[in-house]
Structure formats: C-alpha cells, structure tokens
Amino acid sequence: MLLSRPTYEWEKHGDPDVNEGPEILKRNGKVFVIYSASGCWTDDYALGMLTMNETGNPLEAASWTKSASPVFTKSAEGGVFGPGHNGFFQSPDGSEDWIIYHANPRSDQGCGDLRSPRMQKFTWNADGTPNFGKPVAIYTLLPKPSGE
C-alpha cells in the first residue's frame, strides 16, 4: 500500500522526487511514520511525518495524516545539511527519547562519504506529536543518554 508520495514543494528538491526511509514511533495511542523527503544529494533532504490513531488501519492511506511541513530540516549555521534517514531509541533508563540521523557538515556534499551519524534528544508537543527541534550543531558535546 502506498502511504506517501512527494506532494509538497519541500519534498521535491532533487530529481527524482523522494519519500524514503520510513521509521515508526508510537506513543499515547498514536503511530507516527517519520520519513526522509527530497534527494539525499541535496542540502534540503529533510524529515516528514505521517500520523495515525492506533485504532486506524495502517494499510489504508485514509487512516494517515501527512504533515504539511517538514519536522526536521537543515541548520546551515550549525553545519547540518541534508539531515535524514533516521532511527529512534530511548535512554537506558527509559526517561529520554533520542533521534539518530545522518547529515553533511557542509553544503553541496550530496550522498557521499562526508555524511556522518548524529544524534540528539527530542521531546513531545502538547498535541502528542514528536518535537525533534533544531539539529544540534556539529561538534557539540552532548551528555550521555540517561542511565548510561
């Protein structure tokens, strides 16, 4: 079942248009599919989100709502270009939610060897959706996940 195709302009940087790399998050009766959009060879590779109530049918496109804006995008001032292809984990003690993704340190690096894995904590909005915030600047020291 096709759940998403590039429909918004922010999903259409590069040719061909891309929606890829879906990852699932579940929380408080909601299911989220966080996916990468636009070409990884562009600085505008970003994360989008589909949302469904847990009682919905995941094989019915009508069960999902697509966010009109990206949920995680580049930060030129932080040295984060083309953030995408993400995953999620919790801290060892279960008190923190983390996102792991890759990004380039400079503009126009494409899908090459300069992409590096990065991670940071994220929070949740009052409406129950994930809030990934702004990508943390490259070379920023982060505290270890809680419980390590």
Considering the entire predicted model, what is its pTM? Answer: 0.95
Residue pLDDT, tens place only, 115-137: 999 999 999 999 999 999 999 99
Q: Which of 25, 5, 18, 4 is nearest to 131 (CA)?
A: 25
65-66/81-90 β-pairing:
unpaired
Q: List the domains of the chain with CATH numbers.
A: 9-131 (2.115.10.20)
Query: Is the peptide bond prior to 16 cis by the omega test (within 30 degrees of 0)?
Result: yes
Q: What is the mean pLDDT of residues 70-84?
A: 97
For residue 74, is pLDDT > 90? yes
Which residue matches tokens 């930060």?
Answer: 75
The residues near 76 (Cβ < 8 Å, ≥ 6 apart) are: 43, 107
For residue 1, is pLDDT > 90? no
* Per-residue model confidence (pLDDT) at position 69: 98
For residue 84, is pLDDT > 90? yes
Q: C-alpha 132: how far from its chain's center?
A: 8
Residue pLDDT, tens place only, 29-66: 999 999 999 999 999 999 999 999 999 999 999 999 99
For residue 5, is pLDDT > 90? yes
Q: What is the mean pLDDT of residues 86-97?
A: 98
